[in-house]
Amino acid sequence: MATRWGICSAGKISHDFTVALRTLPAGEHQVVAVAARDLIHAQAFAAKHGIPRAYGSYEELAQDTEIDVVYVGTIHPHHLGVGRIFMNAHKNVLIEKPLGMNAGEVSELISTAKKNKVFMMEALWTRFFPVSVEIRQRLARGEVGEVQLVRADLGAPLTHIPRLAERELGGGAVLDLGVYCLQFVFMVFNGEKPESVYATGSCLDTGVDGTLVIVLKFSGKRMAVCTCSITMMLTNDAVIVGSKGTIKVPDHMWCPTALEVNGVISKHPLPEPSMPLNFINSTGLRYEAQEVRQCLLQGFKECPVMSWSDSSLLAEVMDEARRAVT
């Protein structure tokens, strides 16, 4: 039986997620309903994507009994409130990153999931790409020895986008871009909490963080350095330095399709979309959707690849980094 999806929000990322679902077998994934803050936008989205039902409020979507899981594609500040609407209606949810605006909101969402005994996962799509799966496998086999240093950079001039530059819209480099760098580090170090976190950077006139450098120290003198920026173009790559070799994600580290291990490159191309996308490599959203389906089939309430503790640690470190500069 197919996993029946509801789409919350008719924005750009929800469009791309719905297109990505179309690259998967119809017998496994179906979009059956969409909701927006007004019915006209929901109906337009439904017509564009051939979705049977459209709702003009999130509460109506929450009451739809023919939905297995809801994809929450709203902007950051709405994740907590909207997530609670669906989970309190006993709906499973996949909530876009960052899961919450801070560690307190993440904790509240986890508590709500536990109380209602529903599945909840932060939609950090990077962790489910074939490249990320290969990285975890190679590290587990010890192909580059003991990890000594991880570096991850992600940045582009994006201050012209209100959602990224305005505080009330959840703006800032860390929440939107740094989250990818930090999750990469924690994936490599298997969710280990760092011994120390040091951050420095600069803010925009709006008060949100514009550029940050975050240095994390782990046990055994292992280090990680993350740089994120919404004011400048960075290399947008990642490197894992081990005692016996090096793993590189050469570009697009937040949606990777290639990997270089000790000089040897492997590629993982994505399927072509059925209609234009808003963001690069967005058909890669299919991988997190596949993970959600497998978790639901196995009766999991928490994803083992992107666990609640993973989301909690990520939020705590982002809070600490932002406090250093804002």
**Tens-place pLDDT, residues 250-262:** 999 999 999 999 9
Domains of the chain, each with CATH number or no CATH: 3-124 (3.40.50.720), 130-267 (3.30.360.10)
What DSSP state is assigned to residue 168? G
Count Cβ atoms within 10 A of the Cβ of residue 98 and give its class: 0-12 exposed, 13-18 middle, 19 or more buried. buried
The CA distance from 206 to 298, in Å, is 45
**Sequential DSSP letters for 199-232:** EEEEE-TTSSEEEEEEEEEEGGGEEEEEEEESSS
Q: Which two tokens stand for residue 303?
A: 């994803």
The answer to whether the pTM exceeds 0.75 is yes
Reduced to 3 states (helix: H, G, I; strand: E, B; else coil), residue 233 is: coil
Q: Which two tokens stand for residue 65?
A: 């009994």
Q: Which two tokens stand for residue 146?
A: 């003991």
Is the separation of the CB atoms in 209 and 115 below 8 Å?
Answer: no
Residue 272 amino acid letter: E
The pLDDT value given to residue 275: 97
The CA distance from 173 to 202, in Å, is 10
Which residue ranges of the chain lie beneath pLDDT 70? none
Is the separation of the CB atoms in 170 and 101 below 8 Å?
Answer: yes
Give the chain's length. Answer: 326
User: What's the start-to-end Cα distance of the chain, in Å?
Assistant: 48
The CA distance from 48 to 57, in Å, is 19
Count Cβ atoms within 10 A of the Cβ of residue 276 and give its class: 0-12 exposed, 13-18 middle, 19 or more buried. exposed
Q: Cβ contacts of residue 229 below 8 Å, gap of 6+?
A: 154, 155, 156, 173, 177, 210, 211, 212
The pLDDT value given to residue 109: 98
